[in-house]
Structure formats: structure tokens, C-alpha cells
Chain A
Amino acid sequence: MATILETAASAGAFNTLLAAVDAAGLRGALEAEGPFTVFAPVDDAFAALPPGTVQTLVDNPPQLARILKFHVLAGAHRRESLVQQAEWGSLEGAPVAIRRTEPFEIKNATVINADIICDNGIVHVIDRVILPG
């Protein structure tokens, strides 16, 4: 099996996310033992943000890290476990709401591929970047 970041790299659809993880200096943390649950936005999700949004964040690593940490939960949670609770505390601190079970929705994003098991956690692929609030 591969780590979360190795899995994302081999999928080929997470280039922006992986670049953002590096820019924010979170690679080491996400390669740690964890385990983590990562809601991974696809490249199209980042591309849908208005111009400048990602660049401002990439220029400011602590602020970027905060947004990325909102996409990570401590512990490995499969879909069947996630839907048991209305919300989960993210590493950013703000709660991530589970809005719908069918289709499976995390906040205002839809999970397009759930339960990708990795060495150090579980990845759920989402179609939008989620933001605290």
C-alpha cells in the first residue's frame, strides 16, 4: 500500500493539492504515521475558484496551511463511520459538516470517490474546495 500523498500523486488528478501541500509545508505532517482522513479536492475544484484565490494562499503558507488543514481529520474514518455524526472536528479547528449521506456530501462538496485506503489513512475525493464557516 502507499501513503496518502503517494496515492494522490499516482492518481494524477491532484496536482494542485499536492503543490499546495508542499507550499504550505505540510508534506512531512501528511507523511507521518497518522492516521488521517483527507478530503482531497480534485484539480478542477481548485481551478473553479476565482482568479488569484489560490495564488494569494500559495504566497502565504500559514494561511494556506489553515485552509488545507480544514480538509483533514485525525483518525481513519470510512464513509460508513463519517455518516454516523453530523460534523467532525478538522485539524484546522472548525467542524466539517456531513450534509447528506446519499449522495455523500461533505459540507458543500460531493464525494466523488470514497474510502481510498492508504498506509496512513483514508482519502475521500471531493469535487469542491471546502472552506470553514
Chain B
Amino acid sequence: MTATLASERTQAPLIPPSTHRYAEVIHRLEAGGSMLPDTPENLKQIIGIYKAYAVPMDFYWRDLLYIAERVFLNPLPAFKYFISKEYLDRPNSYAGDQSQLRIWRGTEKAHPELLEFMARGETRAMPKLLHHLWHDRVNMEFAEACMQAMLWHQGMGGRFNDYLESDAYKANADRAIKAYFKGNPLMLGLYALFPDMFLEQVRQLSYTANLGLFWEVMAPVFFEMSDIYDEGGFKGVPDAMDFLVNGIFAVAGRPIYHHLYIGEECYEIIPKSEGFTWLYEAALPYVEAVFYRTSPFRGTKSYNAQAGQVPVDQADFHYGILYADVYPVGSAGIPPTLLMQDMLHFLPPYLREIYKEHRRGEEDELVQLGITFQRSMYNVTSAVIQALRCALLYPLDDTDPEHLMANRRFFEAQMDRFLRPEARLSDIQTQDYR
């Protein structure tokens, strides 16, 4: 595929230039590039942050699956972030020798830097409970905020959400709830009184499983990208994007499901046989909910819905990382403080060097890395856009002008989403934006 994309870049101009405001970016996409300009510093920044992101993500996916499959409806889930050894050691399905289909070269185990951080945190080695109470730990709240964005925005393509409303799902959830609270008359009584409330909680847990299965794939992808870069393997930003495009295709058919385990017994709330896939039911809804939409986040900036500051239509929400005004404390978009703090612990030395040299150096490292993250997510979004073009439209080197115009309309429609003033697409075109 990498070879295919490379040859696609030699297309002759068979159609007139775009007149879109982002024509330059569109022409770059048509030439097989990314929304992020191909500069050595951009490559260094995005790969460095992928690495820093992958380490906490290696915890997020494991704990999300632990919560969805084991903690489940625990009414007092105070220890849901205290992942069990079984889930911390859970082998990655697509990395390591044991995997049924080994796609990435990393190991199946939790990353050593993650284990080291879990043991020591920012402070020093102490019991897990003290690290938790001191908030010296991985910020699972960020992962849950992403899950809630997916739950809340719902209908974003795929069939997952429709299934959550189906009779089959309700029957499966009912069986799981009754089994989970077996011998607990209080909770069973509450379930009899408020069945929909319990069902809605299970739906949330189904999205928790969905996101866990999504990130289980992304963590080894980002680790491998970091390794390839360290070996001098990526020649530019488009190479990094192509690697992501290939990854998206390779696991597109991975099943998305929700199983509950009570002891050894497995209750299939969403069985694999429903045919839900990683691409349609997880990746695309995730990108839409988290990169683009999320929700107005009350931080340094508050939004007044009554004054029309929040769109009426959920599809117009624009509080994701692609639009975020990056601040060191909570601001627009995904609760960024939490993720930025998580990534700060695992920055490769070469990124720390870049941050020291610019702006206020170490003082505003969190802002600088947030903007690096924004650049890197424009590159991931570019990979999604190219993958969709590849799956649904035409090769970049197609010689039929009608096909090329179909590609053009698709790229322009994608860029229309960045016409609103909050979008950071213009900013990331220059290196000065830090």
C-alpha cells in the first residue's frame, strides 16, 4: 500500500485547480500528502507525541476493557482505575508472538515506561492507593471523557448505536444485569424500579468496551511509528500518514463487541457475531466524536447555550482537538489538561529539547505539547480522510477526470469543516504556531 500511495503521487493535472479557501491543502492531499505540511520538524513533533500518547493509551485500553468487562455496574466503582493484574497483563491482540494476526512488531505486554510510571509516578514508589489519592497516576478520566463523547453524540455512522436500542441488545443486557446482581435483592429491586437507568449505564459500558478495543489497536501503531522514526525509517510526514492509512485498513475488520465476565462465565452483551467492525463502529465514530465534536468544556472558557454560543445541531459541535485553543488548564475540547499531563510524563528527549528552545521553554511545555498533539491529530485525521478516499472513491493517480473531480469534491467537503474560525488548520501550516 505504501508503494501504491507513492506511485499515486505522480498524477498530472487533469482537472483545474481548486478555488477552495484551503486549495493549497487540498492540492497537497491530492498529491498524497497530509493536512500537516511536510517539514522535518513536523515529522519530529508528531512522532514524538505519538510515542508520548501511546504509553498512557496502553493503560487506557486495558483499563477501559477492565471496566466494561469486569467492574461493570458496580454501584461504588471507587477502584475501577485499579486495574487487575489480568487486564494489565492482557496480551495485545495485534502485537506480540501470541497474537492470532500479528500486524505490529511490538510486544503484547504493557509498555515498560507505563509500568515504571505506575510504580513510581511523579513522586516516588508508594502503595497504589496513595498514588491514586494524590492523583499521581494515569488520568483515566480523559479516556472516559472520550467514551462519553462517543455515547453522547451517537448516530455518527456505523450500526453500533442502532444496536444499543434493539430488542436483542436489551435482552442481552437484561440477562447480564440479572446475573451481575444475582443474590443482591437491593440492586435487583432498583433494577425492577428503574430498568432504563440500568440499561443506559450498560450502553455507556458498551461504548467503554468499544473505545478500549479501538485503542488496543492504536497503541502498538504509535509505538511502532516511534521505533521506525528512531531507526530513520520515515522520510517525511506523508510516510507517517501512509503508515496510519495501512494500519486503518489492516484492522478495519476487527470485531467490536462487549462481553461481561462474572468469574469464568462470559455474557455476550454485544456478540462478535453482530458483525460490528473496528472501522465502521469504532474508528469513524471516535474521530467524529473526539477530534471534531466533543462538548463545550467548562474550563477557562465557558459557553452560554442561551446566548447561542453552543450550536443547536450536535453535528455542528466543534470542541475537539482540531479546533482547540490549547491552554494549560481545561479549555475547549477534550479535557486537555488530563491528556497533556499524561503525555508530559513520557515525552522523548528530542521533544523536550524543542520545547525548551521556544516560547517560555519548560514553563509552557504543556501548551507546546498540546499544540504538537493538535498537529499530530491533523495528521491522523488526514490518514482517515485518505483511507476513506481510498475505500470509497478513486486512486490519486486515476486518469479519469470525473473520478478526480469526485475525489476533489470529497476533499473539499472535508475541508469545509475547517472553515469556521475556531479551526486550527491555518495555524498548523506554519511552524510559528507553538
- A residues adjacent to B (C-beta < 8 A): 48-53, 55-57, 59-60, 62-67, 93, 100, 107-108, 131-133
What's the nearest-Cβ distance from chain A to residue B70, in Å?
24
Smallest Cβ-Cβ distance to A54: which chain B residue: B253
12 contacts between A and B (CB under 8 A): A50-B245, A50-B250, A51-B1, A51-B246, A52-B101, A57-B252, A60-B272, A62-B272, A131-B392, A133-B388, A133-B391, A133-B392
CB-CB nearest in chain A for B276: A63
Give the distance to chain A from B39, nearest Cβ to Cβ, in Å.
26
Q: Counting CB contacts under 8 A, is B103 at the interface?
A: yes
On whether A63 and B392 interact (CB within 8 A), knowing A48-B4, A51-B246, A53-B253, the answer reads no
In this complex, how many residues of chain B approach chain A with their Cβ under 8 Å: the count is 30
B263 to chain A, nearest CB (A): 26
Kindly list chain A residues whose C-beta atoms are within 8 Å of the C-beta of B261. Answer: none
Given contacts A52-B103, A56-B253, A108-B392, contact A66 B246 (CB under 8 A): no
Which chain B residue lies CB-closest to A129?
B391
Contacts of B159 in A (CB 8 A): 93
Residue contact A133 to B103, C-beta cutoff 8 Å: no
* Residues of chain A lying within 8 A (CB to CB) of residue B245: 50
Interfacial residues, chain B to chain A (CB-CB below 8 A): 1, 4, 100-101, 103, 157, 159, 245-246, 249-255, 272-277, 280, 388, 391-394, 402-403
- Does B280 lie within 8 Å of A57, measured CB to CB? no
Does the CB pair B100–A59 fall under 8 Å? yes
Shortest Cβ distance from A127 into chain B, in angstroms? 11
In angstroms, Cα B141 to Cα A127, docked, is 46
Q: In the complex, what's the smallest C-beta–C-beta distance from B427 to chain A, in angstroms?
A: 30
Q: A53-B249, A131-B391, A131-B392 are in contact. Are A63 and B255 (CB under 8 A)?
A: yes
A132 to B159 CA separation, bound complex (whole angstroms): 12
Instruction: Give the docked Cα–Cα distance between A50 and B1 (Å).
Output: 5
Complex Cα gap A53–B279 (Å): 11
Interface-central residue, A48, A57, A62, A64, by most chain B CB under 10 Å: A62
A48, A107, A131, most chain B CB atoms within 10 A: A131
- B394 x A66 contact (CB < 8 A): no
CA distance A66 to B255 in the complex (A): 11
* Given A132-B280, A133-B391; A60-B250 close (CB under 8 Å): no
Separation of A48 and B395 alpha carbons in the complex (Å):
11
Contact with B249, one of A52, A63, A64, A65 (Cβ below 8 angstroms): A52
Question: B254 touches which one: A56, A107, A132 (CB < 8 A)?
Answer: A56
Is A107's CB under 8 angstroms from B392's CB?
yes
Q: Cβ of A56 and Cβ of B252 under 8 Å apart? A: yes
CB pair B250–A52 under 8 Å, yes or no, is: yes
Residues of B contacting A132 in the complex (Cβ-Cβ under 8 angstroms): 280
Is there contact, CB below 8 Å, between A62 and B252?
A: no
Q: Which A residues are CB-close (under 8 A) to B100?
A: 59
